A and B are shown apart, each in its own frame.
Chain A
Amino acid sequence: MLVTIRDVEYVAKLARLEFTEEQKQRFTEDLNGILNYVEMLNEVDTENVEISIGAYRVENALREDVVKDSFNRDSLLKNAPDSQDGFVKVPKVIE
């Protein structure tokens, strides 16, 4: 078994997700199934293969340093769950 229920709980916590015991059990099984399948890749010798970050090799999609108009604030703030005085407002967080 590659993944235990502890791993599922840990990843769920990192992702701020809450699951029932039943769901955790199911995800453990599902993830093991997926990882076992992907394990096949370990049979390939990748000694001299460079890391690939995508299916296609694309380089240098770059932009010139030219200022563009920003968006209208009201329209942007409509995407936030709450806003006040031009700020996005969220439940209080303290470091």
Chain B
Amino acid sequence: MEFEAIIGLEVHAELSTKTKIYCGCTTEFGGEQNTHCCPVCMGLPGALPVLNKEVVTYAMKAGLALNCEINKETYMARKNYFYPDCPKNYQITQDETPLCKNGYIEITTEEGTKKIGIQRIHIEEDAGKALHREDGTYVDFNRSGVPLIEIVSKPDMRTAQEAKMYLENLKAILQYTEVSDCKMEEGSLRCDANVSVRPKGSTEFGVKTEIKNMNSFKAVEKAIEYEIKRQIEAINRGEKIVQETRRWDEAKGETVVMRSKEEAHDYRYFPEPDMVYLVVDDEWINNVKSTLPELPDKKRARYISEYGLPEYDASILTSSKALAAFFEDTVKEGASPKDASNWIMGEVLRTLNDREMSIEDIKVQPKHLSKLIELINNGTITGTIAKKVFKDMFETGDDPEKIVNEKGMVQISDENAIRDIVNKVLDENPQSVEDFKNGKTKAMGFVVGQVMKASKGKANPQLVNKLVEEELQKR
């Protein structure tokens, strides 16, 4: 039997506000334990939470960027559970009235563009951090009360790849709008997946499992792939899928059942009596709308139409706000879009990947990349040398002109100088001359390579080609 998977994702993103959602403590990451705290975020009795206006603005911004409707009248709810990272024994969140609903994200699949629905986005508080040590559990409440939005997708994804694409696009949009910095390593973006399978063609949903503890997009993809396979194999063996929460074990590459909590999930939501109605009017919504930047989809389309870039290049360049800004700044400094794109797609991203760095960490300035491209185009340096110069720029952040001058990397365009090198190479390689005379034109390529090597990559390649051919003919 052929199966298809049904995947839904729940993403928590920390908002980039300065203060927490219900108190004025800072949201700054790090800090010594329990130093960004007050009675509100420590959940002490009698403390009164007051909603941060900016949280509403940020959440609406995310909602509008994700094509959602805004719920103009909402209220907060208590979600009751016991865990030491939440000392009130309830989380203040939204239940029946999420601030945003019915949006979508577009992803590009092999069959074309596909819309992945967003069921809802609501605002809530983050919990503290629990460290489990031998003699007890230690809790730090600095993160307690940091504002979150939870973005719940519709069960519209069918493969792990689609889930990964959804996440990548979602992350790009949250970063473009500056709603969240989306640093998975700092926990400011977290993702849980709901996965079920059913016979292909069936319209009923199978029993789903929830997967937690995936610390990267790659982990999400791998965990979903594993879970789909696990469920299909279980069904084929005649077993029933049990609704349960499973944890992704990165080291083992498998999902394992989490010890189910003693009681079934019964959060007994009810309206939060310490807070009042949240009402947003058209003016507020329109103000937020007017601050939306150019989003990745639009930017990609513009790169294709305005700059004539291939769709693939445009998608990569717009995949993060910082990368798009780096590209646009390089173009602003004078480089042609095509050259800028080629360099960024090539040396820049390759070097960043090799070093496991992101574009935010790069020392190279866009104006220097633009100058490097100019140095190639005006014949000052060869393409081979440019790659060496770039390596230096990457390490030091220096001006390419300075590097070229200090290291004597200027291109040799002096015919006589190159001719001397060519003849020296030919003298050393009589076999190549012989081969050339016998009609093996490949030999010429070898000689050209040797000449470039002898000139340490500085000889003008066009001249080398021309002179090697001339000198070979003479012999």
Contacts and interface: CB of A to CB of B under 8 A. Distances in A.
Contacts of B75: 53
Interface string A74-92: 0011010010111111111
Contacts of A94: 132, 259
Contacts of A13: 262-263
Interface of B: 17-19, 23-26, 32-39, 42, 44, 50-56, 75, 80, 82-84, 87, 96, 130-133, 135-141, 258-259, 262-263, 266, 268, 271-273, 275-279
Interface stretch (A18-26, A30-38, A65-73): A65-73
**Could you tell me the dominant secondary structure of chain A's interface residues?**
loop
Nearest to B48: A61
Q: How large is the interface on A (under 10, 10 to 19, 20 to 34, 35 or more residues)?
A: 35 or more
A70 B37 contact: yes
Contacts of B136: 82, 84, 89-92
B50 A73 contact: no
A78 to B, nearest CB: 11
Interface in A29-68: 51, 53-54, 57-68
User: 5 closest A-B pairs (Cβ-Cβ)?
Assistant: A68-B24, A65-B54, A87-B138, A53-B271, A58-B276
Given A60-B276, A86-B32, A66 B24 contact: yes
B460 to A, nearest CB: 59
A60 B272 CA distance: 14
A62 B26 CA distance: 17
Interface of A: 10, 13-14, 16, 51, 53-54, 57-68, 70-71, 73, 76-77, 79, 82, 84-95
B277 A57 contact: yes
B151 to A, nearest CB: 21
B33 A67 contact: no
**Could you tell me the dominant secondary structure of chain B's interface residues?**
loop
A62 B44 CA distance: 21
A64 B53 contact: yes
A79 B19 contact: no
Contacts of A59: 276-279
17 contacts: A13-B263, A14-B80, A53-B276, A57-B277, A61-B51, A61-B275, A62-B50, A65-B55, A67-B24, A70-B35, A71-B38, A71-B39, A86-B35, A87-B33, A87-B34, A87-B140, A88-B140
Contacts of A95: 258-259
Q: Which of A13, A88, A92 has the most CB of B within 10 A?
A: A88
A69 to B, nearest CB: 8
Nearest to B281: A60
Given A58-B277, A65-B18, 14 more contacts: A59-B276, A61-B51, A61-B276, A63-B24, A63-B51, A67-B26, A68-B19, A70-B37, A70-B38, A71-B38, A76-B37, A87-B139, A88-B139, A91-B136
